[in-house]
Amino acid sequence: MTRGQLRVFLGAAPGVGKTYTMLEEGRRLQAEGKDVVVAVMESHGRAATSAMAEGLEVIPRLTVAYRDVELTELDLAAVIARKPEFALLDELAHTNVAGLDNDKRWQDALRLLDAGINVMSTVNIQHIESLNDVVQQITGVAQQETIPDEVLRQADQIELIDLAPQALQVRLTEGLVYPATRVDAALSNYFRLGNLTALRELALLWLADEVDSALTRYRTEHGISDKWEARERVVVALTGGPEGRTLLRRGARIAARSGGGNLVAVHVTSPDGLRDGHPGELSSQRSLVEKLGGSYHQVVGSDVPRALVEFAKAMNATQLVIGVSRRPRLVALLSGPGIGATVIRESGDIDVHIVTHAKAGGRFVLLPPGGALTLRRRILGFALALIGGPLLTWLLATLRTADTITSDVLSYQLLVILVALLGGIWPALFAALLSGLTLDFFFIDPLYTVTVGEPSHLLALIFYIVNALLVSYVVDKSARRSRRAQRAAAESELLATVAGNVLRGGDALQALTSRIREAFDQHCVRLVADGEPLYTDGDPVPVYSPSVFPVGGGAWLELYGNDLAAADRRLLSVIVAQVEVALEFRDLSEAAKEIGPLAEADRVRSALLAAVGHDLRRPLTAATAAVTGLKAPDVTWSETDRAELLNTAEDSLNTLSALVTNLLDVSRLQAGALAVSVSDISVEDVILPALEELDLGPANVSIEIPAVLKPVLADEVLLQRVLVNLLANACRFSPDDSRVVIAVSELADTVQIRVIDFGPGIPIQRRGEIFVPFQRLGDTDNTAGLGLGLALAKGLTEGMGGKLDVESTPGGGLTMVVSLPVASPDHEGRRLNEDTDAP
């Protein structure tokens, strides 16, 4: 059976016309004689969409009962049994009702495709799994229904249904997307111009990336290695040298001139990690790449030219930018074709730009006099030449015969190599000259003269010197690489230590300042910001002038001590970048601390306004209506009706008074201005008045108090209000056939009052929300108040020095635990007022 094809209409936001376009395409196919059915179509009440479906066969939807509600879903079996040529399946990311064969509609679509049915469907950009969090950041709305990217990318055809954000807003205001009652809310939230513009750009970028991925897959499947210039891609090869900035800017200009081409930077490292490249320089060049709008990559390869060309071909690059070799001209002449020539030869049809720079083609320097070896090794090399030469001469002279000249020459050659391995070039050169003269004087006719009678003898001496130079050159290079590797390891360890100090917490800036002083052996390091010292590690030494290193943002580092070498300065630049990040983090943290209370206050204010508008209106309206009715001159009320209206007004005003009192108390708690008078009180003396206030009796509440109970430290009035709030909340959620339980117990120096209900309880992950003001966890009963009861109870309990915790009731329900300290025998009552630390 031939598998069906999937065609998806992708939109940036609801209302752009995805379903309409899908139905329009279905009607076009039907007009061409194709068998088309509507499997699922969601019109959302849009008349134009419903009209477009007219004339198309609609498969009746399956009715499913879910939580006493009847819902309709795709009848998958009916569509497969009907087996049309094309099935229109709206909203591919939709989640099916629990109990069906598949959890998601896209899984239904895969079943239809396997059955040989072509499917056309719709998806909004916010439902794509990889973009879900990005869309949430843009719109502030979390999407619960998503579709995996790999499923969507398997579609045979994806079409973007594009609509300008302004045009979509016009459609919204005309009532073509949502009913008129939802337009204002939509325009001020999800459908803001900025949101729509960002979502549109996100959809275009995702689709462009999908097109690029499809092109790459096609080239791979068909074994196409030639470049396809669908888009200019400029690859810049970085060596880690200072010329990298020049190459990157040249590559960026080439990409810009090509009409929006891509800039890609790549650095090739060797498998052993010893290839030249400065970490600090590469870090700054990577930042430059990002500023230029490009991407940075790092690949490993022992053959640099081949690795560059393979990477460029893998990226479908059209142009490759490399720098002129920094090797000295004589070295380049002797060592054959360099990286540039090899890249040009291997690049095929990729254009190669070789860019000159200030560091190109330096003068030839054989080796510095000191070389990379230590002074101790050079001295040992000279000592071996001075001591080993005479000893070897004595030994060879003692054993000399007419046939030993070859072994004599090889013995001196071995001595030269040993000296080169130990001491480097200068001791090796000295040993070569000394051994050559010794051979000529003691072992080559005429003996005991330094006369060179045969040209071959002079050639042998030259060979000695050349061998010494070559061996010492190899030794010097190995020593340099070994030292570089050791330094790289030390630098890595230092950077890891610095990062560890920062990540482990504490003051990151102080840790960085201290590590800089220790790592670079400075007497003092000072971090200065805005002209004022922030951190100082060590004591400044007057004899040293500070070395100043800018950090950024008006800050700098002052180092008191010996001047830093070039390599140390490169390493310091990396650490300075971390100092700059730590400074920015400190500034952002301080700003967040300042903004946090303001944001919280604004949130509480907004919630307060919403709550006042919602919950205070009911008792206020009821009281106003009762009083207005009583004052009506044209209505004669009976005594019963009059009493009922008066009771309604009284109850409403009492409710209003309680709500306002709670609001004021919450405001005082947040401002720390609620007066608390703590004294020795008996718990029994508080529980009974609380029950009387709520008019609760044995039919509603069960009380369990031990016979002997120590007094507690609390404010009697405030504790009564805490219990009233907890009992009212427990009674509200308790079943009619159960009683709320008040259980009092004593544990160590604490008395615990438990208010236990057997209601639905609260999930553990949401228990932190019940103490937040204006939160009722989904309770929409207008008689439930402002959602301040538990927040107020917690604040009052903590103001008295106690704690309010939440526990699960065994068997189901919620238990609120008030923990109060036991009064000491010598305790005297005290009063907490505005000057205390009460919340």
Q: What is the pLDDT of residue 747?
A: 82
pLDDT category of residue 646 using cuts at 50, 70 and 90: confident
CATH 3.40.50.620 region(s) of the chain? 233-355
Average pLDDT of every residue of the chain: 77
- Residue 141: pLDDT above 80? no
Sign of dihedral through CA atoms 673, 677, 681, 684?
Answer: negative
What is the number of other CB atoms lying within 10 angstroms of the CB of residue 179? 9
Show the tokens assigned to 318: 């059209």
Taking a C-beta distance cutoff of 8 angstroms, is the pair 408, 439 a contact? yes
- Give the CATH H-level superfamily of domain 6-221: P-loop containing nucleotide triphosphate hydrolases (3.40.50.300)
Using pLDDT thresholds of 50, 70 and 90, give the confidence band for residue 78.
very high
CA torsion through residues 187, 188, 190, 192, sign: positive
Determine the average pLDDT of the residues in 171-176: 81
Greater model confidence, 387 or 778: 387
- What is the crossing angle of helices 425-442 and 405-423, to 10°? 160
DSSP, collapsed to helix, strand or coil, labels residue 296 as strand
Q: CATH 3.30.565.10 occupies which residues in the chain? A: 673-832
Q: Yes or no: is domain 233-355 CATH 3.30.300.30? A: no
pLDDT of residue 35: 94
Place of tokens 């002083």: 517
DSSP state of 563: P
Q: What pLDDT shows up at residue 838?
A: 36
Predicted pLDDT of residue 556: 85
At a CB cut-off of 8 Å and minimum separation 6, what does 579 contact?
A: 509, 512, 513, 527, 551, 555, 557
Q: Is the dihedral of CA 576, 578, 583, 587 positive or negative?
A: positive
Q: What is the pLDDT of residues 142-154, one digit of tens each?
A: 777 888 888 888 8
Give the per-residue SS3 of 788-827: CHHHHHHHHHHHCCCEEEEEECCCCCEEEEEEEEECCCCC
Strands (E), 657-749: 676-681, 701-704, 712-714, 740-747
Residue 780 has pLDDT above 50, yes or no: no
pLDDT at 673: 47
| Amino acid at the residue 830 | R
Q: What is the 3-state secondary structure (H, E, C) of 356-369?
A: CCCCCCCCCCCCCC
Tokens of 511: 């840790």
Average pLDDT on 625-635 reads: 78
Question: How far is Cα 183 from Cα 473, in angstroms, rounded to an integer?
Answer: 80
Exposed/middle/buried for residue 747 (C-beta within 10 Å: 0-12, 13-18, 19+): exposed
**264-287 as b/e, with b when 16 or more CB fall inside 10 Å?**
bbbbbbeeeeebebbbbbbebbbe
- pLDDT for 191 equals 80
The arithmetic mean of pLDDT across residues 440-455, rounded, is 73
Nearest to 265 by CA among 312, 305, 303, 306: 312
pLDDT of residue 659: 65
Comma-separated ranges of CATH 3.40.50.300 domains in the chain = 6-221
Confirm if 26 and 121 have CB atoms less than 8 A apart.
no
How confident is the model at residue 144, as a pLDDT? Answer: 78
Q: Give the number of other Cβ atoms within 10 Å of residue 573's Cβ.
A: 16
pLDDT at 785 over 60: no
pLDDT digits (tens, 9 = 90+) for 791-835: 778 877 887 888 888 888 887 888 989 999 998 765 544 444 433
Establish how many alpha carbons lie within 13 A of residue 706's alpha carbon, considering only the half-sphere containing its beta carbon.
12
In words, the CATH class of domain 673-832 is alpha beta
What totals of helices (H) and strands (E) does the chain contain, helices first? 25, 25
Q: Where are the beta strands (DSSP E) in 117-249?
A: 118-124, 157-161, 233-238
